Amino acid sequence: MLKFASHHRRELRIDALFSLPTYVLSIGNEAVTLKHVRGLFCKECGKEYPIAPQHVCEFCFGPLEVGYDYEAIASSISRESIASGPRSMWRYADLLPTPAEGVIDIGAGGTTMRPAPRLAAELGLKKLWIKTDAGNPTHSFKDRVVSVALSVARSFGYEVAACASTGNLANAVAAHAAASGMRSVVFIPSNLETGKVAGTVVFGGDVVPVDGSYDDVNRLCAELSGSRPWAFVNVNVRPYYAEGSKTLAFEVAEKLGWRTPDAMVVPIASGSLFTKMAKGMRELHSVGLTPEPHVQIHGAQAEGCSPVATAFAEGVNEVRPVKPNTIAKSLAIGNPADGYYALGEARSSGGTIESVPEESVAEGMRLLARTEGIFTETAGGVTIAALEQAVRSRAISPDQETVALITGIGLKTIEALGATKTTRTIRPRVEEVDAALGVRGEAV
């Protein structure tokens, strides 16, 4: 059943080979319909596929993408219909693969976006917004993608949710599975931060640490997906999963009064979130909700795992896999599935892909906390450091209205900040306070 097309331009992906037969394992439920979805199509050769748990083209091994009937959406969607929807990301259900039998909505989305005047002043920008997904149910943007992935998986008849994760995805899969009565089996690299492991185990699913990098874990899952009837959120149901990221773009535009900003800074792991920002902004325009977007999208990677930034800097289209060694573990994907497409979107939008020094990650976390009162994880530190770097190099000019996406909470990665600096411990006596403040910064 494997067909090798002679024209495929992309390198043959080994994970594609392992997971090709997965749609055979779909558990019945033949006639799954998703609102306004025409089907899947291959991003490389355009071949169309019916709605199914499949993520790779059988002919060219290109990734599959959800295709919509935009005319139908345009005639049913409006700013008013969205405003009267739920406060969660599901207010944009018309632009998501939404099963008829309902969705798993535990409150992902609807997160805060506010002006960041103090950080803007420090960086030399006129208008900066911080959109922070720390307020999601499991405190990262991964709740958005998982909410879509498991909603669709359930309509296919899957009872087990699985994933390979750099941490945040594990939290989100375990939580959404728990809340919807699914079983979860989550695979993680064994060196993850304690906060991310504890925040997964608590939901009661199986958590399997693997002695290897995320890329090893991902390969294992691709292999497993060929023989287990499980919904791997970022393997066999990845096309649906990835769509959830668009809701970040939708929320940004709605918050700005249905327009798009001049520039955005977006962290890159697999590159999916990055490409979906561009897709989301285009869709809003194509269904008549916003003027044509002219948003430059800048990517953020940390030096210890920056394969997409390297390809950008070298001006090539191929992303060479690397072995990650970065403090930003949630971004530590050495062989990013959507790196090639992220490069394309960065270039065509006039954006850049920044690689920031490892030392600047914790500095970025501290800078955001100190200026705006927002405590982000390492991925957010990468984003702030990339923003700073892009402004310094004039890739973002001072008068461009900019939105930085802060995708996760700092409490999960406290290790990155090193020793906690407080004053020395005092006895509960007024006269000891001034003395303690006089010797600030002593490690406790």
Nearest to Zn ion of 56, 396 (CB atom): 56
Mask 60-79, x = binds Zn ion (CB under 5 A)?
A: x-x-----------------
Rounded least distance, CB 39 to Zn ion, Å: 13
Nearest to ligand PLP of 207, 289 (CB atom): 207
Residue 62 binds which entry of ligand PLP, Zn ion, none, with Cβ cut-offs from 5 to 8 Å by kind?
Answer: Zn ion
d(CA 213, CA 185): 18
> Listing from the earlier edge strand, what are the strands of the sheet with 48-49?
48-49, 37-42, 64-68
Nearest to ligand PLP of 26, 296 (CB atom): 296
Among 16, 20, 56, 57, interactor with Zn ion by CB under 5 A? 57
Judged by the rule CB under 6 A, the positions of this chain that interact with ligand PLP are: 140-142, 168, 267-274, 330-331, 377, 379, 407-408
Residue 379 binds which entry of Zn ion, ligand PLP, none, with Cβ cut-offs from 5 to 8 Å by kind?
Answer: ligand PLP
Nearest to 284 by CA among 148, 95, 41, 96: 95
Rounded least distance, CB 305 to ligand PLP, Å: 11
Nearest to 389 by CA among 417, 349, 350, 361: 361
Containing H/E element for 283?
helix 272-286
Residue 275 binds which entry of Zn ion, ligand PLP, none, with Cβ cut-offs from 5 to 8 Å by kind?
Answer: none
The verdict on 44 binding Zn ion (CB under 5 A) reads yes
Rounded least distance, CB 436 to ligand PLP, Å: 36
- Give the total residue count for the chain: 444
The verdict on 105 binding Zn ion (CB under 5 A) reads no
CA distances for 74 relative to 68, 81, 205, angstroms: 11, 12, 40
Nearest to ligand PLP of 140, 155 (CB atom): 140
d(CA 166, CA 164): 7
Three-state secondary structure call for residue 245: coil
d(CA 301, CA 268): 6
Nearest to Zn ion of 3, 440 (CB atom): 3
Under DSSP, the state recorded for 350 is T
AA letter at 165 = S
> Using CB under 5 A as the criterion, which residues of the chain lie in contact with Zn ion when the complex forms?
42, 44-45, 47, 57, 59-60, 62
